[in-house]
Amino acid sequence: MSTEIKDLEPGYLFGHFASLLRIPRESKNEAAAREFVLAWAGEKGFKTGTDDVGNVVVYVPATPGNESAPITVLQSHLDMVCEKAPDSDHDFEADPIPAYVDGDLVRSKGTTLGADNGIGLAAAMAAAEDPDCEHGPLELFFTIDEETGLTGAFEYDPSLLKGRLLLNLDSEDEGTLYVGCAGGGDTTITLATPSTDVPSGWTPVLVKVGGLKGGHSGLDIGTGRGNAIKLLARALHAGAASGDFMIGCIGGGSKRNAIPRDSSACVFVPSDQTGRFTENVAAFTDIARLELGNADPGLTIETSNDPCECKPMTGQASRALLRLLLVIPHGATAMSQDIPGLVETSTNLAVVKREDDETSVLCNTRSSVDSALEALRLAIASAGELAGGKVKLDGKYPGWRPNLDSPLLARCTAAWKEMSGNEPQVAAIHAGLECGVISEKAPGMDAISFGPTIRGAHSPDESVSIGSTGRFYDFLKLVLKGIAHG
């Protein structure tokens, strides 16, 4: 097997993916990726359309003899989650993704890979130019800012799309056809955390939580992995059990849809209590490791007496913030009554950050039951209000209700059986897909989502299987051929 990503098979797909690895495309910074698509379409002679928010549609004519086939929309998003390991100096705005081949996998050194959703984007482009791909008219629909709020899907111009068959190429389990997804929404709590002077005889103690797996706040939320912010709060509570404390700087997490892997805080305590504080944190570390077990065995919680230039918040504000972080829920709160093993409702305590005299806390909540989603967001908002914070509820997006009688599902099921000899798994996913949002603005849209095997999305452990990608692409071509032949 080649060690050059551009030379992997299928060649058209991995050639485009290798190009994407060199293009900055963090959410809300997709301009270069959009220009890449438009330039490619121009070279191929394909017509294009864009809307006011920056979404792109590439109109691909049918292969000869299939002009009367229904239009199929191949949909992916341009952006990627940009997460990196604590020791990485990678600049996502300038540096290529340091991807490499590791056996059957493509990985990245210390950063997210962007296979979510770069593989789907590359597959759509490949299908448009591959002479072995037989298809009817295609609309390649590439949206912006999926990862931070499905902005492109929410604000797209529906006049861009004529097709009513939607193949979303943004799933991560080979052989699974997704027909539904959870809805979600964000809750931001802002606390006043006014600064004060360091009391005489008090010492800063730096507490760092790390070594966690993190992962996708939907797909991985039910795995029992640790949340670095929750663990930091518990460590501070354990450390300060012996006396007074004031929190200085505090930070953890960076993305609403990624489980926090790292967090840290500078805590000021009376100098004669620093020894007991550190001992208590060390004792809690053993407890936390026991709780996490094999779900997240790499946990580290370290303390140090390094100098810190930050100013502490008042003791009252410190206690209010700590109690808030302790009481906000994290993880799966309900399982589906209809689909065994599927998380129905969950929430991710995603980000905490102090700037000047305010500290913000961001939570991302998901559910396939709208009333359950609102109930959990209400609980989080109430906790914020009880702590004296300002609460903002936003970023809500709808779920996608399964339609098991979908003709497109029947066609995809038949194609998978023809290719593999097995029945595909038909499932809903506890994550946000753009299908529901897009379909709301396109009456009569019939949608399915599928993709290759991707693991560790939204974390530096992200990888994509090369063999699975090949089978995913073969399946896509078979589905398109079936649609073309009616």
Q: What is the CATH number of the domain that holds 380?
A: 3.30.70.360
pLDDT at res. 243: 83
Q: Which residues are catalytic?
A: 79, 146
434 and 455 in a single domain? The answer is yes
d(CA 115, CA 81): 10
Q: How confident is the model at residue 99 (pLDDT cuts 50, 70, 90)?
A: very high
Query: Cβ distance 237 to 280 under 8 Å?
Result: no
Which residues span the domain enclosing 477?
5-182+399-485
pLDDT tens, position by position, 309-335: 899 999 999 999 999 999 999 999 999
244 and 266 in a single domain? The answer is yes
Token match 């097709």: residue? 163
Q: How confident is the model at residue 431 (pLDDT cuts 50, 70, 90)?
A: confident
Query: Cβ distance 142 to 434 under 8 Å?
Result: no
Query: Cβ distance 257 to 348 under 8 Å?
Result: yes
DSSP 223-266: S----HHHHHHHHHHHHGGGS--EEEEEEE---TTB----EEEE
Average of pLDDT values for 156-179? 97
168 and 190 in a single domain? The answer is no
Q: What percent of the chain has pLDDT over 70?
A: 99
- CA angle, 386 then 392 then 394, to 5°: 140
342 and 285 in a single domain? The answer is yes
Average of pLDDT values for 401-409? 92
Question: CA 340, 297, 91, 350 torsion: positive or negative?
Answer: positive
Query: Cβ distance 260 to 351 under 8 Å?
Result: yes
pLDDT at res. 399: 85
Last residue of a domain, one of 397, 424, 439: 397
404 and 390 in a single domain? The answer is no
Higher-confidence residue of 67 and 3: namely 67
Number of domain units in the chain: 2
CA 211 to chain centre: 19
d(CA 118, CA 106): 12
Buried b (16+ CB within 10 A) or exposed e, 98-114: ebebeeebbbbeebbbb
**CATH number, domain at 83?**
3.40.630.10
Tell me the pTM.
Answer: 0.78
43 and 75 in a single domain? The answer is yes
Query: Cβ distance 348 to 230 under 8 Å?
Result: no
345 and 434 in a single domain? The answer is no
